[in-house]
Amino acid sequence: MDLFSPEFWTALVTIIFIDLVLAGDNAIVIGLAARNLPKDQQKSAILWGTAGAVGIRIIATVLVVYLLNVPWLMLVGGLLLLWIAYKLLVQQEGDHDIKAGNTLWQSVQTIIIADAAMGIDNVIAVAGAAHGDLTLVILGLLISIPVVVWGSTLFIKLINRFSWIIYLGSAVLAYTAAKMIASEKQLASVFENGVLKYSFEFLMIIVILAAGYWTNKARAKRQVQQISRESH
């Protein structure tokens, strides 16, 4: 992909946005892992832990980019990313069972291991958005270092204030997933028609957003009914 082409910069912005949307849990993990350290060591733990986590992500994402060339894996990755897009909308706040480190090295280890375990959704999404371009993968994930360290907390506050941002993020993930599925070489004959391809991508966005909306609406209704029963 040409460095100065609109496609390159559109993909890069998409990758950065994906990093922001999916970075919330990772920011919480970083904060929890370093919470027992003295203030002067917390910044070092966050910087080194995040750098190590992003390094592992680059390696993992590069591997996924190559794996997506295997027949049918683009389809599998796209379907998995559709599930991730849906899960982003319906996930509930939960406890993060992260053991805080008592030393700088323990905290760095915890951040790297926890991020690697939780980062599979980010890896698949970034690999799909990069369209096989390794420059995009590395550049996008390097940019995610300051994004995760300094931007995540602010972004979490924005999401809590403007819930539509999550729906926008889910739409971007659903679009990326649909493009991955439509790019599967084994399905080239199905999506060679441009109208069918764009209709499919639009449909996947609508299906995921609608499914997430109705799931959240049904959950809220159940919660109201439960509170009503308990009050009686």
- Residues 165-199 pLDDT 10s: 888 888 988 998 998 899 888 898 889 888 999 99
- Residues 120-140 pLDDT 10s: 777 888 888 887 788 888 887
**177 against 40, higher pLDDT:** 177
Average pLDDT for 41-58: 78
pLDDT band at 39 (very low <50, low <70, confident <90, very high): confident
pLDDT band at 31 (very low <50, low <70, confident <90, very high): low
Contact in structure between 184 and 72 (CB atoms under 8 Å): yes
What are 38's two structure tokens?
């003295």
Whole-angstrom Cα distance, residue 147 to residue 183? 29
Q: Is 213 exposed, middle or buried (0-12, 13-18, 19+ CB in 10 A)?
A: middle
% of the chain beyond a pLDDT of 90 = 15
Amino acid identity of residue 27, one-letter, is A
